[in-house]
């Protein structure tokens, strides 16, 4: 069983903010797969079970269930829901993938790591704390925009919305994230 986690903040006011890149990525992925999110959270997260994996292969036919979740606590507390899902379904940390924003990476750069450190990302710090390890995969999606970051500071930057030029490029960036999700599922 695989658990794919998108980090973000719940609520409409955070839609299309940089900190919600993980949510955007999973929404984009789910749309491509034709799935839908649960109407109510379970174990602290909206969720969807995926049977069909992009490219026509079936995770279920390979004996693999894939669960996507969007934790409904705020970003810095995301680890609580991740740990609850991992414990409830007895998912090994090697079968968990977390997708988050990274304002130190150039906008549009997508970086996958099989394990790693949280660095300054408070969402990953929460996941590390709640899982008692950093031995899970992660995809960091670059959201850096030096001009805006210098003008508003880090806290307001992560909660800022994408510029029109960035929004135009998002589908290509999210497509790359989807490819990395598929690679993780199939490994």
Distance of alpha carbon 51 from alpha carbon 41, whole angstroms: 20
pLDDT band at 62 (very low <50, low <70, confident <90, very high): low
Contacts of 176 (CB under 8 A, 6+ apart): 110
Distance of alpha carbon 28 from alpha carbon 34, whole angstroms: 10
The encoded tokens of residue 130 equal: 């709640």
Among 4, 7, 9, 19, the active-site one is 19
The pTM of this model reads 0.92
Report the pLDDT value the prediction gives residue 122, as an integer from 0 to 100. 95
With a pLDDT cut of 70, the percent of the chain lying above it is: 93
Distance of alpha carbon 187 from alpha carbon 182, whole angstroms: 9
Residue 61 has pLDDT above 50, yes or no: no
Neighbours of 41 (CB within 10 A): 17
Q: Does domain 2-186 have CATH number 3.40.50.1470?
A: yes
Report the pLDDT value the prediction gives residue 51, as an integer from 0 to 100. 62
The torsion angle over the Cα atoms of residues 102, 103, 106 and 109, rounded to 10 degrees, is 20
Report the pLDDT value the prediction gives residue 85, as an integer from 0 to 100. 97
Average pLDDT over residues 61-76: 85
Residues 142-170: tens digit of each pLDDT = 999 999 999 999 889 999 999 999 999 99
Residue 60 has pLDDT above 50, yes or no: no
Burial class, 55, CB count within 10 angstroms (exposed 0-12 / middle 13-18 / buried 19+): exposed
Residue 65 has pLDDT above 90, yes or no: no
Window from 44-53, 107-116, 126-135, 147-156 with minimum mean pLDDT: 44-53
Report the pLDDT value the prediction gives residue 4, as an integer from 0 to 100. 97
The order of strands in the sheet holding 66-71 is 45-50, 66-71, 2-6, 96-106, 137-144, 110-113
Average pLDDT over residues 5-12: 96
Average pLDDT over residues 91-115: 96
Distance of alpha carbon 114 from alpha carbon 56, whole angstroms: 25
Contacts of 123 (CB under 8 A, 6+ apart): 7, 22, 75, 76, 78, 79, 98, 100
Tell me if 123 sits within 8 A of 103, measured CB to CB.
no
- For the question of residue 19 being annotated catalytic, the response is yes
pLDDT band at 64 (very low <50, low <70, confident <90, very high): confident
């Amino acid at each position: 069983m695989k658990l794919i986690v998108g980090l973000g903040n719940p609520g409409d006011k955070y839609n299309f903010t940089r900190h919600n890149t993980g949510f955007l990525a999973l929404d984009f992925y789910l749309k491509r797969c034709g799935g839908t999110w649960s109407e109510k959270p379970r174990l602290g997260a909206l969720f969807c079970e995926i049977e069909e994996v992009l490219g026509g292969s079936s995770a279920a036919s390979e004996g693999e269930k894939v669960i996507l979740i969007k934790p409904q606590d705020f970003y810095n507390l995301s680890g609580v829901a991740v740990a609850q899902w991992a414990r409830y379904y007895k998912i090994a940390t090697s079968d968990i993938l977390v997708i988050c924003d990274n304002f130190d990476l150039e906008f549009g750069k997508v970086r996958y790591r099989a394990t790693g450190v949280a660095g300054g990302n408070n969402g990953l710090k929460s996941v590390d704390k709640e899982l008692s390890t950093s031995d899970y995969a992660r995809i960091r999606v670059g959201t850096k925009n030096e001009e805006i970051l210098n003008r508003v500071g880090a806290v307001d930057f992560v909660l800022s919305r994408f510029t029109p030029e960035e929004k135009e490029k998002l589908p290509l960036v999210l497509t790359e994230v989807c490819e990395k999700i598929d690679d993780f599922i199939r490994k």
